[in-house]
Amino acid sequence: MIKVSFAASRPEGAYALAIPLRSEDNVAERLPGLEAGARNLAVRAAEAQRFEREAGGVAEAFVEDGGQVRRLLLVGLGAQRDDPALYEKAGGALTARLLTSGETKLVVDLTGTDLRADEAARLAFGAAARSWRYDQYRTKLNRKQKPTLEEVVIVGAADSEWGSKAALLEGLDLTRALVTEPANIVYPESFVERARAAMDGLGVEFEVLDEKQMAALGMGALLGVGQGSVRPPRLLAMRWNGGKTGAAPVVFIGKGMTFDTGGISIKPALGMESMKWDMGGAGAVTGLMKAVATRKAKVNVVAVCALAENMPDGNAQRPGDVVTSMSGQTIEVINTDAEGRLVLADAMTWAQRQYKPEVMVDLATLTGAMVISLGHEYAGMFANDDALAGKLEAAGKASGDKLWRMPMNDEYNKIMDSQIADMKNSASREGGSITAACFLGRFVEEGVKWAHLDIAGMAWSDKAGSLYDKGATGYGVALLDRYLADNHEG
């Protein structure tokens, strides 16, 4: 990602200059540092590009400034000052315009605006987040494809709020890298090592269970999913003790299918390569731990990753098999491609017994039905506690990682009953994301406030967004970081 710094005045030398404008601002009046001719040119360029100062809109011109030609960008802040993720959107729009433009430095001049320190930090965060690229495996990039932007300087604002945003960027970077890596590079064992390396020196405690330890604990659901792969499953737990000693931690659990073929219920070949990101939930909670530990958050947090690979080997579990979960409940496996809920079931039971949390939230790229319901604008949220749901929804609005609450009730839950076991892992196509959530709800213990976030439509994008290019979005890191900051940090 690009480097971010703050300064009291514009630097000398070559750089691109960006000026933010609200809907009511006059373009010429927001350019006091330029000569009349340059201001007139900027106004005409904005009019020609139909720049209406809308949020994230950008108009561009080349003007004379201090004896040299400078690229000038006008970026819109819109009219709604409480628009969620407004400043992140503006910062991201600037980077999207300049990332491969040939410019190496961008100066965003906030002088004369009313942006607070936190709003300036959010704009800088958006600019840095949008610059993320993963070119490790690209050996041939032509000149126009190579990123050139290296630095963003924020002028006229304090950097007092930047520390927490810089930490969040660290977590976002980790999540995106994990989600982007192919399955021959990131698999259960190597995921654990990547996480260890990323947390080195931060004070995060690790616990890792191998297949023998999971078998001894009775994790038949998780082990059943991974038994068809030569890559053995792992259960990874990371703990950050930043809160009061002895206080119950907030527990986050991530689905970590490092590759999902569907198993014996094999997926169609077309598009199967995308199933490398079926560990988006595990990637998100790992990135969260990086962010929390980096900024030394005053809260006790545990992240649990249920890591496995779902393959159609001769030893793979079959449709019709019955497995016994760690909770003691039995599950008839109707569809081996409904595997995420199986690994989560055992991870949830273990986490509750190990850490006794008051609050537990799981994230999973769980169902295609969620994408049909909400597309790629919202993740689906299911919860057994209205207050928890409200807090998560508020954090989603504030962070830009939006959530939409979905229903759960006994009628949906009954659909998951099996004739030969306590439950089945798959039912009819109707309401598929809801019945999957009901399945998970059977593994929530008495008194635990729980939410399930189905992020199937959000972890990966086939088109660029305001804070990401095509590919891994890093969804969930900012959401959960904001939720902790607003509700659990002392």
Instruction: Calculate the alpha carbon distances from 162 to 126, 280, 401 in Å.
Output: 12, 26, 20
Q: Which DSSP string corresponds to 319-370?
A: TT-EEE-TTS-EEE-S-TT--HHHHHHHHHHHHHHHH--SEEEEEE---HHH
Q: How confident is the model at residue 223 (pLDDT cuts 50, 70, 90)?
A: very high
Span of 23-27, 74-78, 305-309 with lowest mean pLDDT: 23-27
pLDDT of residue 397: 95
pLDDT of residue 370: 97
Report the run of H or E that residue 305 belongs to, with start and end: strand 300-310
3-160: CATH architecture = 3-Layer(aba) Sandwich (3.40)
Mean pLDDT of 243-252: 97
Q: Are strands 234-241 and 300-310 parallel, antiparallel or unpaired?
A: antiparallel
Mean pLDDT computed over every residue of the chain? 96
Nearest to 95 by CA among 56, 47, 52: 56
pLDDT of residue 66: 81
Cross-strand pairs, 405:
381
339, amino acid identity: E
Angle at 134 between CA 129 and CA 140, to 5 degrees: 135
Does residue 490 carry a pLDDT above 80? Answer: no
DSSP conformation class of 181: S
Q: How confident is the model at residue 380 (pLDDT cuts 50, 70, 90)?
A: very high
Cross-strand pairs, 208:
236
Q: How confident is the model at residue 19 (pLDDT cuts 50, 70, 90)?
A: very high
43-97 pLDDT tens trace: 999 999 999 999 999 999 999 988 889 999 999 999 988 888 899 999 999 999 9
| Both structure tokens of 33 | 């540092």
pLDDT of residue 81: 81
Q: How confident is the model at residue 1 (pLDDT cuts 50, 70, 90)?
A: confident
Establish whether 267 is a catalytic residue. Answer: yes
Per CATH, the number for 165-487 is 3.40.630.10
Task: Please name the residue ranges forming H helices in 427-471.
Answer: 432-441
Sorted by where each begins, the domain ranges of the chain are: 3-160, 165-487
Its pTM stands at: 0.96
pLDDT of residue 203: 98
Q: Say if CB 425 and CB 335 are below 8 A apart.
A: yes
* 3-160 shares its CATH topology with 165-487: no
Measured CA to CA, the distance from residue 241 to residue 44 in angstroms comes to 56
pLDDT of residue 229: 98
Measured CA to CA, the distance from residue 107 to residue 110 in angstroms comes to 9
Which of 22, 196, 267, 397 does the annotation list as catalytic? 267
319-378 pLDDT tens trace: 999 999 999 999 999 999 999 999 999 999 999 999 999 999 999 999 999 999 999 999
Half-sphere exposure of 386 (CA within 13 A, CB side): 0
Establish whether 298 is a catalytic residue. Answer: no
171, amino acid identity: G
Q: Are strands 300-310 and 250-260 parallel, antiparallel or unpaired?
A: parallel
Sheet of strand 359-364: strand arrangement: 205-209, 234-241, 300-310, 250-260, 359-364, 449-454, 379-383, 403-405
User: 3-class DSSP state for residue 154?
Assistant: strand
| Both structure tokens of 486 | 């607003």
Q: Are strands 151-155 and 105-109 parallel, antiparallel or unpaired?
A: parallel
Mean pLDDT of 456-462: 97
Which of 53, 165, 341, 391 does the annotation list as catalytic? 341
